[in-house]
Amino acid sequence: MEIPPILVEIAKRYVPATAQAQILNAKVLFQTFIENNDELIQKITSYVPEGKLNQFSLVAAFSSASVLLFIHFLKMRTEAKLAKCNIKTVENSILYNWPVFGHSLGFETDPVDFFRQFNAAIECMKASDPDALYAYAMFGPKPAIIPVRPEGAEPILNSQTHIRKGMFYRLFEDWLGTGLLTSHGSKWKTRRRLLTPAFHKTVLTEFVEVMNEKAAKMMVILDEKIKTEKKINMLWPITLCALDIIVETAMGAESDIQFEENNYYAQAIFDWMELTQIRQKSVWYWPDWIWALSPIGRQQNKNVDKMHHFTEKVIMERWEHYKKLKEELGDDFEATYFAEKCDSRGRMAFLDTLLKCLDQNEIDLQGIREEVDTFMFEGHDTTAAAMTWAIQEIGQHPEVLKKLHEEVELVFGDSDRPATMEDLDNLIYLEAVTKETLRKFPSVPLFAREIDEDQEVIRNGKKFTIPKGAIYTIPCYKLHRDERHWKDPEKFDPNRWLDGGAAETRYAYSYFPFSAGPRNCIGQRFANLTAKIMLSHLVRNFSWTSLRVTNEIPVIAEIITRPKDGIDVILERRNA
């Protein structure tokens, strides 16, 4: 089954020449969909009585045409409304606006090419209209509004009304359910209230010991690697170390994940993100029933099962231990368990806070799994991505590494003692390095909101209206590099963040790696603490040189901003 040649010829005749390449891309997409979903098509046709296939085909064709015409009518009506809102579509030369499916049909299938295409569309809009605040792309009849300048992001990020994450985040629910990241309304407010105490600085201080231990293990692993490997790809060691930290701090489970060369949980997360991004940009996969019957949808279910099995096992073991101890200790339970004596190493975990809420009927077991899964995802992968880019940039700038070495020597001297909170507060330059890394490579390249009511925005005498029902897609990766707010935005310059640097007087919404406003990231302190401890251990123990040029590395933006093929460095022991 393929696109009828006559339709391709009609498209070639009536579609502008600038979109000819995307015609071929759309044909390939359609053909791939048919080939990959042959079982789905056979299942549908199996319900047709024998000998009635031709009649069925006619009815199906007529019904499909009616539905497609209706969708296209809705799409045209939305586009007419957007024209009155003073918001222009992205350039057809970059991303063609197809009938019915809109721009989603023209997205590149390769994640690197897709991200380049998306960023090029923003640059093209800025070049054609320097005063534009927004552009839009169509996902079928659904518009995605994209702020092309930081000033366009502020009204929605700072809003108390537009706090729903929207359609793109609904596609996370197969794994994360409706936890803190994906929920809205009263459930989100309740969960935020329950979880906020778990991220207080005094609580996070208790995690420093775990983080030091896990970072020290990573040093041992890297020591072994450099004995046999000339170059080291840092993506996997960093990812496993961050996951090791999160397993023990989030769930209180002892873990040696770092010593597993092929950890199934970490790999399942990578695979889940790849398939979720495919679904996000392919509007035909949005309906749950189509996704569930498709081969990649079934593969996604396997990934989700692996991840849920991992967390459910730990949650149930911890809950049974909690109940048993409560029964044994009676009135002394609170003083024992929450005085951090129940754990063999005397540590509270994020999960313990949730178990107390469960015991008080403030959350159920499914809710606990949702929040633990959310914390596992947001707590390790975002940190690992930021760390990987930081190592790349430091290794490409020997003057930065030299300053870091000088700083850790000033704070730690010749001691190999674990880092304390006071030490971390004194690592001013290291913090500037992490901030500059997150400016260039925010761990999450795009945020999204659902617009619940028309939002008027007035800037420089121009009025824009963001319509109700739109998907508001915030490209912080591009907004962090806006040339009006950052001098030499492609340059890695930690000095921006030191006293007297430009970052002191920056516009607030030109930098928001942890989002902003009421839905900012609740775990940003945890993420910063983890990154600083891991990076300080690395700087204290090693010197390294990056083998790739940062700005030439293809960027994969599959929910998380990662370098394609990781980061290769030559690693050397400082005291060798």
Residue numbers in the known binding site are 521
- Under 8 Å between Cβ of 470 and 145: yes
Q: Mean pLDDT per 10-residue run, the chain (576 residues)?
A: 45 45 50 54 54 56 73 88 89 86 87 92 91 91 94 92 86 92 91 87 86 95 93 92 88 80 83 90 88 93 94 89 85 70 56 89 93 87 93 98 97 93 96 97 93 91 91 95 94 91 82 93 92 96 96 91 95 83
H-assigned helices in 330-427: 333-337, 350-359, 365-396, 398-412, 421-426
Q: Which residue has the tokens 């983080």?
A: 211
pLDDT of residue 19: 46
Stated length of the chain:
576
Q: What pLDDT score does 342 carry? A: 43
pTM of the model: 0.85
Distances 162 to 60, 82, 198, 308, 325 between C-alpha atoms, Å: 39, 19, 26, 30, 44
| 94 half-sphere exposure, CB direction, 13 A CA radius | 21
* Model pLDDT, residue 60: 60
Q: Give the pair of three-digit tokens for residue 492.
A: 């890695």
Q: What is the pLDDT of residue 505?
A: 81
- The count of other CB atoms within 10 Å of the CB of residue 208 is 18
Inter-CA distances, 421 with 202, 285, 405, Å: 10, 47, 19
User: What pLDDT is attached to residue 572?
Assistant: 95
Q: How far apart are CA 494 and CA 516, in angstroms?
A: 22
- Choose among 350, 437, 345, 428: nearest CA to 387: 437
- The pLDDT of residue 308 is 94
For every residue of 197-265, which 3-state class applies, written as one string?
HHHCHHHHHCCHHHHHHHHHHHHHHHHHHHHHCCCEECHHHHHHHHHHHHHHHHHCCCCCHHHCCCCHH
Kind and range of the H or E run holding 188: helix 185-195
Cβ-contact 495, 432 below 8 angstroms: yes
Q: Which residue reads 């990573």 in tokens?
A: 218
What DSSP state is assigned to residue 331?
G
Q: 176-573 sits in which CATH class? A: mainly alpha
Question: Can you say which residues are annotated as belonging to the binding site for heme?
Answer: 521
| pLDDT at res. 467 | 93
How far is the CA of 223 from the CAs of 211, 219, 227, 237, 405, in angstroms? 18, 6, 7, 12, 18
